[in-house]
Amino acid sequence: MSSSKYYAVASMIFSSILSYLCNLVIFVDFMNTDFFAHESAAIDEGCKIGKGTKIWHFSHIMSGCEIGENCNIGQNVVISPSVVLGTNCKVQNNVSVYTGVICDDDVFLGPSCVFTNVINPRSAVARKSEYRQTLIGRGASIGANATIVCGHNIGKYALIGAGCVVTKDIPDYALVVGNPSKQIGWVSEYGHRLTFDEKGIGICPETKQVYELKNDIVKRIE
């Protein structure tokens, strides 16, 4: 074998060994953390990930974001810079959570649901300074393939139906469906539809928690 071929083969072997060692170091580093990340996940420097959180295949966690404890991040998920996820949030497959989104504790983001952060995007116009904030309240659930137009807040324990397009603020405990979104009722913290009597009192069939409807506002009272 000529010296040039020898050096070429040696270089290839060295590169393969170096790549393996780098991947091993990354894997070992993940194993030494308080969270789990699949080896195919990309986790940038400068992000905060809470204890007990799991991050699955091909997801990208970008610098500057914060993920609370015991969250579950599904496959092919992007968590953009400055995004905040509270404790025990569940992000299903194929969700991109863009800068400007803040989720409280116990939020559920269904498969392929969509967020925006600019109201009038143009490829040729830079609008990073115009990102609008979207707040998702504690315990709220967003169904599969729903779209949340930026700048609108989702109230706590609200339930957004699959395929819904949200174009306005959603109150606490609201049940919302359709395109554009339309409220059709109220739900309990456990996601059951509430029926209110003449006194405005509704009871969750699962937990027996008591809710009051007054002036189009629902509150849990027991």
Question: Which CATH number do you get for residue 86?
Answer: 2.160.10.10
pTM of the model: 0.85
Count of domains observed in the chain: 2
Cα–Cα separations (whole angstroms), residue 169 to 116, 148, 160, 163, 219:
15, 10, 12, 17, 17
**Same domain for 52 and 119?**
yes
* Of 177, 194, 133, 186, the residue nearest 158 (C-alpha): 186
**Same domain for 112 and 172?**
yes
Q: pLDDT 10s per residue in the chain (222 long)?
A: 555 555 555 566 656 555 544 444 344 344 447 999 999 999 999 999 999 999 999 999 999 999 999 999 999 999 999 999 999 999 999 999 999 999 999 999 999 999 999 999 999 999 999 999 999 999 999 999 999 999 999 999 999 999 999 999 999 999 999 999 999 999 999 999 999 999 999 999 999 999 999 999 999 998
Structural domain including 125 reads 37-191
Cα–Cα separations (whole angstroms), residue 57 to 25, 109, 117, 206, 209:
18, 17, 25, 35, 38
The reply to whether 84 falls in a domain is yes
